[in-house]
Chains A and B, each alone.
Chain A
Amino acid sequence: MRTFIFAAALLLAPHALGKKAIARLAPNEILRKADDARAPEGDFSFFVKIGDYDGAKLLRTHVYKVFSKGTAYALIETESPLRLKGRKILLRNEDLWLYLPSVKRPTRVSLQQRLTGEVANGDIARTRFHNDYDAKISGSEEIGGKPHHVLDLKAKSDNVTYRKVQLWVDQKTYQPHKALFYAISGKLLKTSLYSDFKKALGENRASKVVIQDALNPKRQSHLTYSKYQRENLDDSFFTKEALP
């Protein structure tokens, strides 16, 4: 009997330890891991193709090249359509500027203003939640037979794109599955679905994100991420004086 109990304990131990390990991770650590499955840390660049849909109808397609340095700096360059090439969006901390070749000067804009379709400037410029939000586990839910943490994210400052975010994170892989984005009034603004996790800069990361309008779910933007590259970007690359 003792042998059986010992053997059972040995067999169950990894699960018990695993569960304990999962439970031990602080909500902000879970969020950091979920961020890793969305975008890398450090200096990097990537391309994102955004298709805006109304139901099944493709309204427009844009391609952007994004340079990112840490969580504070990002530069979004429009690659196509050609008639919009040269447009740039610069993010420095919580401040954002739009550079239009037709005006030839950086113009102050808001993180919450739309880039295209359902995508706000901040959706692309801010690649990680961890620095902008405090996380709290509000529950767990099974999606497709896999247990997920439900994280409630509360904005640390007023100058982020969304005041509150709910994020579903796979308890085993820490990959994000779904996010709900809320306004200050508590109104649901949009949802995001993360999928097609592919190896990029050493980690599996979501290469496809579908952002859906909460009021009219037919309105969707499909974001496809590709060509991640490590970069060595000086801070001065992200100054509005260097934009033109």
Chain B
Amino acid sequence: MTVSSQRKHCLSALLFLLVASRSESVDLSYNASFSSRVGVHVNGRVGLAINRHTLEAQQTAKWLNSWSLVGGARVYADSAFAMNDRYNAPVRGIESQEFAPRDLYLQYKNRGLQLRIGNQQVVWGESFGFFFADIVNPKDTREGGLGGDLAAQRIMVPMVNFSWFQGNYALQFLYLPKPFLNLTPAQGSDFAVPLGPFFPGFNVTLSDERILPLALSSSEVGIRGTAILNGWDMGAFFFTYFDRRPSYRPTFAGADVSVRGVHDRISSWGLTATKDFDAWVSRLELIYTANRPVDSFVFNAGAPTQSFGTSTSDEFVGVLGFDYTQWRDWRLTLQVSQDSYLRSVPGSLLPQNSTNLSFVLGGTLFRNHELTVIQSYCVNDGSALSQLLYMMPLSSRLEATIGTYLFTGSPSSSFGTFRGANRVFLQLKGYFGAG
């Protein structure tokens, strides 16, 4: 979304809120948070990894019990990139500051009908930590999915979201008139996969599509049905959309190569289920995506410009997770996921089969301090991501968190690629609100 269109969205919402607030029957509420996160690299890299100050606010106006208008925005400034010579201009440009509209929608809700029009997020998945079935909203991947809460990493996009629910059944239709795509890290960022090695001897420049034109042919449509039967909460969905993740198409000109991240139309079918088994709560996700683009690299000494290519393969993802519910002060979640490309792509940059094991162990310690340990382990290459978060509430409005992200494994492994991003950080977050 461009800055001018973001401003237009926000101004319209503010005007709407102003008009709405003049009515006597309007119920207004707001909430806001301010956070400051300072982190330093570990693993040899010097300097700040992050020095980010973020303000997020949301205003809700409700009237006549059926209508509501929600408007929110987030703004941040980060000085770590300007203060550290190792980051290049594109990284500084994309990471140093941002203004983004968040939830910005008009809602009509009457009994079992709900219509939401505007910027919003829709979540279909059941798993934790990864966005397997969570395919509707594009994601901000600039910090490798570690920049904050899952909700904070989803990019709100304009859509029409119609839901009908009756008893234990619900049906949801989505229409996205204009595709918005993942916000990816610039080359040189801690969380970027370097493209240079795939184009040896060339000067590489990268540009990534963020949006596609507004046209009927580029609109996206989704449908999801859910049912609760005998304690099983089940969902089935279909979504035709443009792949949120880019595949790369190089264009060579002498010693230069311009790599463009493009996004092809794909379709996904999925099933989700959860069930409370008393001592355990189980979660399941199955997602099938037809003809998903897969980048490949097979070095061709005779024609190096032919080395990099893109093919397609059907993708199947299965996720099974369990939450253990019987401990007093601790909670444990175990999750295993399998991501398979059903057709082999020679030289694929993604493994044909990838198995991931994860667990979350969290608990309350003395004085309401909370410790969370998250471990993700890639079975294929032995790489891992360890996260440790220690949160101390300082008051009812303020909390401090000390955390660390540690990637381990070989430089070419799933998690080891990002070893340079290893960091420890301190975050202060304050909450405000009324109504």
Interface residues of A (CB under 8 A from B): 59-60, 80-83, 85-86, 92, 94-96, 101-105, 107-114, 158-159, 234-236, 239-242
B163-181 contact mask (Cβ, 8 Å, vs A): 1 or 0:
1011110101000000000
Q: CA A82 – CA B399 in complex, angstroms?
A: 11
User: B386: CB under 8 A from chain A?
Assistant: no
B399 touches A239 (CB 8 A): no
A81 touches B397 (CB 8 A): yes
B126 touches A108 (CB 8 A): yes
User: B151: CB under 8 A from chain A?
Assistant: yes
B112 touches A236 (CB 8 A): yes
Q: CA A177 – CA B276 in complex, angstroms?
A: 32
Give the chain B neighbours of A96 by CB distance below 8 A: 276
* Interface residues of B, count at CB 8 A: 49
Closest B residue, CB atoms, query A105: B123
Among the interface residues A80, A96, A240, which one has the most CB atoms of the partner chain B within 10 A? Answer: A240
Give the chain A neighbours of B123 by CB distance below 8 A: 103-105
User: B85: CB under 8 A from chain A?
Assistant: no
B148-171 contact mask (Cβ, 8 Å, vs A): 1 or 0:
011110100000000101111010
User: 29 interchain pairs (CB within 8 A)?
Assistant: A80-B396, A82-B396, A82-B432, A83-B393, A83-B399, A83-B429, A85-B31, A85-B433, A92-B168, A95-B228, A103-B151, A104-B123, A104-B150, A104-B151, A108-B274, A108-B283, A108-B323, A109-B281, A112-B278, A113-B325, A159-B278, A239-B112, A240-B233, A241-B114, A241-B165, A241-B170, A241-B172, A242-B114, A242-B163
The 3 closest A-B pairs by CB, nearest first: A81-B396, A102-B149, A105-B123
Q: CA A236 – CA B432 in complex, angstroms?
A: 30
Q: CA A209 – CA B283 in complex, angstroms?
A: 35
A95 touches B165 (CB 8 A): no
Given A82-B432, A108-B233, A113-B325: A159 in contact with B154 (beta carbons within 8 A): no
User: B121: CB under 8 A from chain A?
Assistant: yes
A104 touches B121 (CB 8 A): yes
Given A80-B396, A95-B228: A112 in contact with B325 (beta carbons within 8 A): yes
B276 touches A110 (CB 8 A): yes
Closest A residue, CB atoms, query B121: A104
User: B125: CB under 8 A from chain A?
Assistant: yes
Give the chain B neighbours of A242 by CB distance below 8 A: 109, 114, 163, 165
Within B97-121, the residues touching A (CB, 8 Å) are 109, 111-112, 114, 121
Give the chain A neighbours of B323 by CB distance below 8 A: 108-110
